[in-house]
């Protein structure tokens, strides 16, 4: 481990209060507004969880029906946004596409007043799957797709647009669970980015655009893509184990492992691993899932490092035929709920976020003339 200067990463320091989520409050727990993520992933849909996070409570049946209809009605993209998406090249990173899409939508549907914040959040939640698949299908298949499907779930809608046909029940459920697992995680880097931006009283699209930029990095949301890039190189568990040992010997980071807050396990891992196992059976996989398992075991045996939420998302998404470059955009489609809830919470009790710093640079000195400088 490289020695970090004291205070690096603000690790372990509280940076404010929240009612939305607790991470690791009791051991390795994760709760959204008091509900354990395991229970939500078993008993709820992502639309219910989005309602919980954004509106503050689990919806009753009437509220859920109304919310589902509302989100479905908000899926369309303005023509000007479609034109912009069509100009983004096929080799662009899909996270850059969403960053641009979010920012451009902010020009067309600007948040004029914070009274509109719930509408802004719903619109972003409804349009991210449309934006990413519209661009992907146009740039890769030359097709201008109709982004308004009749699927109730956001995950099912995304798979429908991506593959041009309604997903199986299994795939729609896995996507729904995946979106539940990724929805919210307290003061993680992207959410904190959104809150810092919100604290200047900026608009919702600016806050979310910044958050997308933070999520893109391989130490955060980008890890699911990096994990897949590693896993797909292995043809057998033996080869995977040997290569991971070599990487550890060479002090390489293994993406999809470790966490800034959890110390023993990430509670989301067991859930997505189980769904990945089901998908592996469904497609008759005998390589990727066993390879993932041996990497997980080797990391634990050698380093006591556990798989985080990102690791088995790689194989799960792959089994559903999702291109690797779209993995992190799916995270955006989900985490936008958490981001927007935090932006609203920040606004409700706002003071500009402006921490201090411990200065460790040179003592005071005077400016030498240019011929005296080295």
Ligand X SMILES: CC(=O)SCCNC(=O)CCNC(=O)[C@H](O)C(C)(C)COP(=O)(O)OP(=O)(O)OC[C@H]1O[C@@H](n2cnc3c(N)ncnc32)[C@H](O)[C@@H]1OP(=O)(O)O
Q: Of 130, 188, 214, 328, which one interacts with ligand OAA (CB under 6 A)?
A: 188
Reply yes or no on whether 122 is catalytic.
Answer: no
Binding partner selected for residue 94 from ligand X, ligand OAA, none, CB under the kind-specific 5 to 8 Å limit: none
* Region 223-262 residues binding ligand X, contact defined as CB under 6 A: 223, 253-260
Q: What is the dihedral of CA 341, 343, 348, 350, to 10 degrees?
A: 150
Residue 267 in contact with ligand X, rule: CB under 6 A: no
Reply yes or no on whether 310 is catalytic.
Answer: yes
Nearest distance from C-beta of residue 322 to ligand X, angstroms: 17
> What is the per-residue binding string for ligand X in 1-20, x denoting contact by CB under 6 A?
xx------x-x---------
What is the layout of strands, in order, in the sheet containing 21-23?
21-23, 30-32, 35-36
> What is the per-residue binding string for ligand OAA in 235-274, x denoting contact by CB under 6 A?
-------------------------xx-------------
Pick the closer one to ligand X by CB: 98 or 309.
309
Residue 185 in contact with ligand OAA, rule: CB under 6 A: yes
Residue 309 in contact with ligand OAA, rule: CB under 6 A: yes
Nearest distance from C-beta of residue 187 to ligand OAA, angstroms: 8
* Region 270-329 residues binding ligand X, contact defined as CB under 6 A: 305, 308-310
| Total binding residues toward ligand OAA, as defined by CB under 6 A | 6
Binding partner selected for residue 258 from ligand OAA, ligand X, none, CB under the kind-specific 5 to 8 Å limit: ligand X
**Annotated catalytic residue: which of 171, 185, 259, 342?**
259
Binding partner selected for residue 275 from ligand OAA, ligand X, none, CB under the kind-specific 5 to 8 Å limit: none
Pick the closer one to ligand X by CB: 292 or 308.
308
What residues make contact with ligand OAA under the rule CB under 6 A? 23, 185, 188, 260-261, 309
What residues make contact with ligand X under the rule CB under 6 A? 1-2, 9, 11, 219-221, 223, 253-260, 305, 308-310
Catalytic residues: 259, 310
């Amino acid at each position: 481990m490289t020695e970090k200067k004291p205070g690096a990463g603000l690790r372990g320091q509280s940076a404010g209060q929240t009612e939305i989520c607790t991470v690791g409050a009791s051991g390795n727990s994760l709760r959204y507004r008091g509900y354990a993520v395991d229970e939500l992933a078993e008993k709820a849909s992502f639309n219910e969880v989005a309602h919980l996070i954004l509106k503050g409570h689990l919806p009753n049946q009437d509220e859920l029906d109304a919310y589902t209809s509302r989100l479905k009605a908000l899926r369309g993209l303005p023509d000007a946004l479609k034109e912009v998406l069509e100009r983004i090249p096929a080799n662009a990173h899909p996270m850059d596409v969403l960053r641009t899409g979010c920012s451009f939508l902010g020009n067309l549907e600007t948040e004029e007043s914070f009274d509109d914040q719930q509408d802004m959040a719903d619109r972003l939640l409804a349009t991210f799957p449309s934006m990413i698949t519209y661009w992907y299908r146009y740039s890769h298949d030359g097709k201008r797709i109709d982004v308004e499907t009749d699927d109730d779930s956001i995950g099912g809608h995304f798979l429908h647009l991506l593959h041009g046909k309604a997903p199986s029940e299994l795939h729609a459920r896995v996507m729904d669970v995946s979106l539940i697992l990724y929805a919210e995680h307290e003061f993680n880097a992207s959410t904190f980015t959104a809150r810092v931006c919100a604290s200047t009283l900026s608009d919702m699209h600016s806050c979310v655009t910044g958050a997308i930029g933070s999520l893109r990095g391989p130490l955060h949301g980008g890890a699911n893509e990096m994990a897949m890039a590693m896993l797909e190189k292995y043809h057998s568990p033996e080869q995977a184990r040997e290569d991971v040992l070599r990487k550890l010997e060479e002090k390489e980071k293994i993406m999809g492992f470790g966490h800034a807050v959890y110390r023993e396990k990430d509670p989301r891992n067991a859930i997505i691993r189980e769904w990945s196992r089901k998908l592996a059976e469904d497609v008759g996989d005998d390589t990727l899932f066993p390879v993932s398992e041996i990497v997980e075991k080797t990391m634990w045996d050698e380093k006591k490092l556990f798989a985080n939420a990102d690791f088995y998302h790689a194989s799960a998404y792959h089994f559903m035929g999702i291109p690797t470059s779209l993995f992190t955009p799916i995270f955006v489609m989900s985490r936008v709920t958490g981001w927007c809830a935090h932006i609203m919470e920040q606004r409700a009790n706002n003071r500009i976020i402006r921490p201090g710093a411990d200065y460790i640079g040179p003592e005071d000195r005077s400016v030498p003339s240019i011929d005296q400088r080295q």
